[in-house]
Amino acid sequence: MRLSKLYMPTLREDPQDAEIASHKFLLRAGMIRKSASGVYTYLPLGYRSIRKIENIVRDEMDKAGAMEILMSAIQPAEIWKESGRWEKFGPEMFKLRDRNDREFCLGPTAEEYFTTLIRDEVKSYKDLPLNLYQIQTKYRDEKRPRFGINRAREFSMKDAYTFDTSPETLHTAYMNMYEAYEKIFDRLELDYKIVEGDNGAMGGTGSHEFIALSETGEGVIVYSESGKFGATEEKAPVEYILPQAEDKKDLEKVHTPNASTIEEVANFLKVDQKKCAKAIDLMLGDEPALVFIPGDRELNLAKLVAYTGTAEHDIRMMEDSEIEAIKSKPGYTGPLGLDVRMIFDKRITEMDNLVVGANESEYHYINANYGRDFEGEVVDDLLLVAEGDKVPGTDEVYKFARGIEVGNIFKLGTKYSEALNATYLDENGKANYFYMGSYGVGVTRSVTAVIEQNHDDNGIIWPISVAPYEAIVTIVNTKDEEQVALGEKIYKELEAKGVEVLLDDRKERPGVKFKDRDLIGIPLRITCGKKSGESIVEYSTRREMENSEISADEAIKNIL
């Protein structure tokens, strides 16, 4: 492809609302454009990288024995109502009606859709197991679309669904996908961790998340280096706790309405600012975070401030009458009205007068008692650890990291087949529910994870497997016939040999060409400059950026 013909609207300036590198560079390199909040157009270079990822995913899915199909992005409401997720997804689902007032949604995922497809088609155990997938646009009306195509409202996801006859064969299918995912993310050259996840709204009996490590990630994981221990923040049987303030005198200040900065909170609690920031980070996700802290009221309040004390949150204790008022509100669902999965240390169940709260001001309670006011899963060994603590029974320590969730696999069991009454007939002619799994890869999000891990100040540094083009030939001065002739010759030879190659034949200043080249991040580069008459070029890689003067033939050999 000739840059003189390529639609590549690069930008010199950093776009204003781009907070992270991938968002900034995708815009600046002319790879994506925003159409509406969380809705993007993929331009030629960006779309090529997206398709590269799609094809890697497709290749590994096919090799793993999965079969590609394509279901509509529009899904009928009935199946979501049957499974109970029409309500559960809530405002995150884009809902619509046709001219006859029939309700639909734009699919945020497709467990129900695939289940009903198989329910109506597969009758016998002889047709099982099955593994079907699609690469389809998904829609989620995210509360906070951000970071460009990292958290978009329209995005591309590969979603696969397996259908089996028993928990054991489901496990085999699940591990088959687990391994396929390792191959996919290895081929994307991502630095990632696999951690146990929380099944959340998906339901089922087990899950793993594939997390590309990045400080800009919205997820927090706890892991050990060998991979022996790994869990998402929600799932981890660990809770980051702050050391307690030393004596009550220190706690007086809590009664001022807010500690509005991490510094204030950290100073007040006499704890390390970084630890404090981490604790606040952990607790202030998009999800309501619950903190359960035994002890007396003042101390609890101090801790709550530590966890939730930002300017946005009004931290104060609620009066008993206010709690009563909340409890008597219509729609109050649980002991505390909070629909959140909770794991408790057994010790918590034996303590009185806990402070419980989420990161919203309406949700703080004092004098709460386990059993009477809240319930959850009780475990014997909820560990209260900080980063660097030893993982029991190993030589390793717990590490905390941020990352981008690029993939998620779930054992669903019979949750959806039961809800949608999807059965097959076994050897004895008896109807049984399918054992299901579901498996997602964020295709467009993976592009952002690759860039977060591969960039410098000047732009993207694509790994070959995801690069929109593998090589670029730059003609420094298009008025110089020798340079043009050599550039054209190399370009044509590489193209003939099947290399995906760009030729910068634009009538631009060299500075512009070099800047653009760094920005769009093509991995292998040949520069045709002053020595073109002698067939000498400069060869470099985007990662090393070091030029070597070699013959054109040698440079071509390097690329092939």
Residue nearest to Mg ion (CB): 408
The 3 state secondary structure assigned to 292-360 is EECCCHHHHHHHHHHHHCCCCCCCCCCCHHHHHHHHCCCCCCCCCCCCCCCEEEHHHHCCCCEEEECCC
Nearer to ligand ATP, 336 or 449 (CB): 449
Q: How far is the CB of 445 from Mg ion (least distance, A)?
A: 11
Is residue 405 at the binding interface for ligand ATP, with CB under 6 A as the rule?
yes
End-to-end CA distance of the chain: 17
Q: Is the dihedral of CA 313, 317, 319, 322 positive or negative?
A: positive
The minimum distance between CB 17 and ligand ATP, in angstroms, equals: 16
Task: Write the binding mask 91 to 130 for ligand ATP: x where contact by CB under 6 A, - elsewhere.
Answer: ------------------x---------------------
Between the CA of residue 486 and those of 199, 319, 358, 482, what are the distances in Å? Answer: 58, 80, 66, 6
Residue 338's alpha-carbon distances to 137, 353, 508, in angstroms, are 32, 18, 60
Interface segment toward ligand ATP; rule CB under 6 A; list 67-75, 315-323, 406-414, 489-497: 406-414
Give the SS3 label for residue 251: helix
Of 195, 289, 406, 524, the residue at the interface with ligand ATP (CB under 6 A) is 406
Q: Which is nearer to ligand ATP, 155 or 434 (CB)?
A: 155
Instruction: Choose between 20 and 391: whose C-beta lies nearer to ligand ATP.
Output: 20
- The DSSP symbol for 391 reads P
Gyration radius from the chain CA atoms? 28
DSSP 8-state secondary structure symbol assigned to residue 20: S
Q: Among ligand ATP, Mg ion, none, what does residue 364 contact (CB within 5–8 Å per kind)?
A: none
**Out of Mg ion, ligand ATP, none, which partner does residue 190 contact, by CB within 5 to 8 A per kind?**
none
Q: How far is the CB of 66 from Mg ion (least distance, A)?
A: 19
| Nearer CB in complex with ligand ATP: 136/308 | 136
At 427, which amino acid appears?
A: E
Residues 346-385: x where in contact with Mg ion by CB under 5 A, - otherwise, as a string:
----------------------------------------
Q: Which is nearer to Mg ion, 300 or 408 (CB)?
A: 408
Phi, psi for 249 (deg, rounded to 5): -55, -35
Binding mask 132-171 for ligand ATP (x = CB under 6 A): --------x-x--------xx--x-x--------------
Contact between 242 and 305 under an 8 Å Cβ cutoff? The reply is no
Those residues with Cβ within 8 angstroms of residue 181's Cβ, 6 or more apart along the chain or in another chain: 194, 210, 407, 409, 439, 441
Interface with ligand ATP (CB under 6 A), residue from 30, 107, 129, 442: 442
| Candidate ranges 53-61, 382-390, 437-445, 526-534; the one touching ligand ATP (CB under 6 A) | 437-445
What is the Cα–Cα distance from 270 to 250, expressed in whole angstroms?
9
Give yes or no for residue 408 binding Mg ion (CB under 5 A).
yes
Shortest Cβ distance from residue 64 to ligand ATP (Å)? 17
**Measured from the CB atom, is 179 or 246 closer to ligand ATP?**
179
Number of Cα atoms under 13 Å in the Cβ half of residue 477: 9
Position 308, amino acid: T
The reply on whether position 438 binds ligand ATP by CB under 6 A is no
Between 3 and 135, CB nearer to ligand ATP = 135
Report d(CA 95, CA 74) in Å as an integer: 10
User: What's the rounded Cα separation, in Å, for the pair 248 and 444?
Assistant: 51
Q: Which residues bind Mg ion (CB under 5 A)?
A: 405, 408
Q: Which residues bind ligand ATP (CB under 6 A)?
A: 109, 140, 142, 151-152, 155, 157, 405-408, 440, 442, 444-445
